[in-house]
Amino acid sequence: MNIEELRARLEEANQGHLLRYWDQLSDQEKLQLYNELSHQDFNEINEFYKTVMENVSAASKKLNDVIEPLPKEVCGRVVNTGPETLSQYNNSGLKKIGESRVAVLLLAGGQGTRLGVPYPKGMYDVGLPSGKTLYQIQAEKLLKLQRLGESVTGNSCKIPWYIMTSEHSKQSTQDFFQKHKYFGLQEDDVILFEQNLLPCIGFDGKIILEKPHKVALSPAGNGGLYRALHHNGVLKDMESREIEYIHVYSVDNILVKMADPVFIGFCISRGANCGAKVVEKTFPTEAVGVVCKVEGKYQVVEYSEITLKTAGKRDCNGRLVFNAGNICNHFFTLDFLKFVSEPSQERLLKHHVAKKKIPHVSDKDCRQTTQPGSPNGIKMEKFVFDVFLLSSSFAVWEVIREDEFAPLKNADTADKDTPTTCRRALLNLHHRYLIGAGAEFVYTDGTKISHIPSQKGEDEALFVESEISPLVSYAGEGLNELVEGRKFVSPVYINQDFTMDKPKIVDG
């Protein structure tokens, strides 16, 4: 350890306080702190802080005068696209999947803190009849999608799964996949890498110490993806596999269509190098960011950044003008990812700031970590959608919320985005798949259950629990031959694993 060199670097950057407890540390603590500090670029961090605080001041000006709706030529909607065109998109996407030209990239750096669990969200079981976790559901969707791709090209194919974790979640995620034998996927095709961390900074610009021997660090946001891709060799791995298109999504959406061939086919048809899948905002004040244009550049604007008057604007058809709700579901070409991940471009992406209560070491409490009662500093982060403004060819695909978006964010004590709402969303979707394939649901006495509640306040759909293994059907396809004309008593579970020649249906 060259402590004098490190001390000089810190003093030059006005961060010398980080070593104020050095002489009181054990040898092991000294090594931990030294390793944590030695790889940091303190001048860069200072510049981040200076820039982000300037941006906070500038952000006080509302965007109402410069925000623009999305131009029609970049948009497509599943609800007004004909079945023939949808089939063309689907076949185009499946062809690329079958040629092993598509990868998926999962943003999974967060912990399950708001869920009240000490492990990553992907390991969470929302209470489905099968007991499957989010990771298992997603792995099985990839397996099924590979089979669908192979049916188009006649060749075996792979969809590599890149998973961005954090310092706190990488090992537990790795252990989880190893324990479950990667849910049938090839180990070499599940690639974990870490996003970087940034120091938390006090309002005075000084980096905060969480403990005498530890800096307070936080993930750099899901927009830390681009630096992580560059530094971890992920882009080179994609290039070696001859990947052309990448689907990026967040772990917490239980309805996500990974590598959705329709979405991929749509973006390819538009010649897009960057695309966003969105859902229609349900009401003006819904707490969701909107994909739009600002001063000619595509971006996501948070609901809190515009006035209610702007948020409530409607077009001649009665739809909200700013209605493209962002759901963290994106399409990129590999060339675009390589471009935005270059340090010269990644630095153009501005940090967002969040004022937080950051635990810090306190001399008043005998150098113990103290939890402040009010915000005492900031965490800086970038968002995955920040690169939209760098796109030269952008596309937006609007899907039906009930079919594709049900996030898991909170414990069941909350009103929305809970294990219960996720579970019901998936079971209701699968119920609709089975109804669409010609199945009927009946009570135990044989009385038919209505598809639509017949009385105000009645919700008969809650009596119907239907779960379909992703290994049986990716998005409702191929069910007719299994269920058409059959009657089922809830709950229904259609399962298939590697030991079964055909799906097994259990009901009642």
Helix axes 27-38, 3-12, angle to 10 degrees: 50
Mean pLDDT confidence for 31-36: 93
Report d(CA 372, CA 203) in Å as an integer.
14
CB 384 within 8 A of CB 223: yes
Whether residue 424 lies inside any domain: the answer is no
Nearest to 209 by CA among 22, 454, 396: 22
pLDDT for the residue 456: 46
The one-letter amino acid code at 272 reads A
Residue 55 pLDDT level (bands cut at 50, 70, 90): confident
Mean pLDDT confidence for 157-167: 95
Residue 463 pLDDT level (bands cut at 50, 70, 90): low
Q: Where in the sequence is the domain holding 320, given as residue range(s)?
A: 67-404
Whether residue 421 lies inside any domain: the answer is no
Mean pLDDT confidence for 143-158: 97
Residues 318 and 462 in one domain: no
Residue 216 has pLDDT above 50, yes or no: yes
Residue 451 pLDDT level (bands cut at 50, 70, 90): confident
Residues 214 and 173 in one domain: yes
Q: How far is CA 71 from CA 68, 291, 293, in A?
A: 9, 11, 9
pLDDT for the residue 453: 60
Residues 347 and 486 in one domain: no
Q: Long-range CB contacts (< 8 A, 24+ apart) of 199-204?
A: 199/40, 199/45, 200/356, 200/358, 200/377, 200/378, 200/379, 201/45, 201/49, 201/377, 201/378, 201/380, 202/358, 202/376, 202/377, 203/376, 203/377, 203/378
Nearest to 188 by CA among 159, 165, 150: 159
Report the CATH number at residue 214.
Answer: 3.90.550.10
pLDDT for the residue 60: 47
Whether residue 232 lies inside any domain: the answer is yes
Please state, for a pLDDT cut of 90, what percent of the chain lies above it.
78
Number of continuous H segments (helices) and E segments (strands) in the chain: 15, 25
Residue 366 has pLDDT above 80, yes or no: no
Helix axes 134-153, 261-269, angle to 10 degrees: 60
Mean pLDDT confidence for 361-390: 88
Nearest to 262 by CA among 450, 77, 47, 113: 77
* Domain end position, chosen among 404, 419, 443: 404
pLDDT for the residue 397: 98
Residue 353 has pLDDT above 90, yes or no: no
In this structure, of 172-181, 332-341, 410-419, 450-459, the range with the lowest mean pLDDT score is: 450-459
Summarize pLDDT for 84-114 with one digit per residue, the tens: 999 999 999 999 999 999 999 999 987 777 8
Residues 442 and 354 in one domain: no
Please state, for a pLDDT cut of 70, what percent of the chain lies above it.
96
Report d(CA 376, CA 169) in Å as an integer.
26
CB 251 within 8 A of CB 105: no
Whether residue 390 lies inside any domain: the answer is yes
Report the CATH number at residue 479.
Answer: 2.10.10.100
Residues 94 and 149 in one domain: yes
Residue 123 has pLDDT above 90, yes or no: yes
The DSSP annotation for 9-30 comes to HHHHTT-GGGGTTGGGS-HHHH
Nearest to 358 by CA among 145, 495, 204, 172: 204
Residues 439 and 390 in one domain: no
Whether residue 127 lies inside any domain: the answer is yes
Report d(CA 460, CA 442) in Å as an integer.
11
pLDDT for the residue 325: 96
Residue 61 has pLDDT above 90, yes or no: no
**Sole residue written with tokens 């249906």:** 505
Residues 361 and 500 in one domain: no
Residue 305 pLDDT level (bands cut at 50, 70, 90): confident
Q: How far is CA 139 from CA 83, 98, 255, 259, 299, in A?
A: 28, 17, 13, 12, 30
Whether residue 461 lies inside any domain: the answer is yes
Residues 454 and 338 in one domain: no
Query: Residue 88: CB partners within 8 Å, gap ≥ 6?
Result: 265, 269
Residues 229 and 161 in one domain: yes
Residues 127 and 224 in one domain: yes
Residue 335 pLDDT level (bands cut at 50, 70, 90): very high
Whether residue 80 lies inside any domain: the answer is yes
pLDDT for the residue 57: 59
Residues 454 and 387 in one domain: no
The DSSP annotation for 295-360 comes to TTEEEEE-GGGS-HHHHT-B-TTS-BSS-EEEEEEEEEEHHHHHHHHSHHHHTTSPPEEEEE---E
Whether residue 287 lies inside any domain: the answer is yes
Residue 382 pLDDT level (bands cut at 50, 70, 90): very high
The one-letter amino acid code at 406 reads A
Residues 443 and 321 in one domain: no
Residue 454 pLDDT level (bands cut at 50, 70, 90): low
pLDDT for the residue 457: 46
Total count of domains within the chain: 2
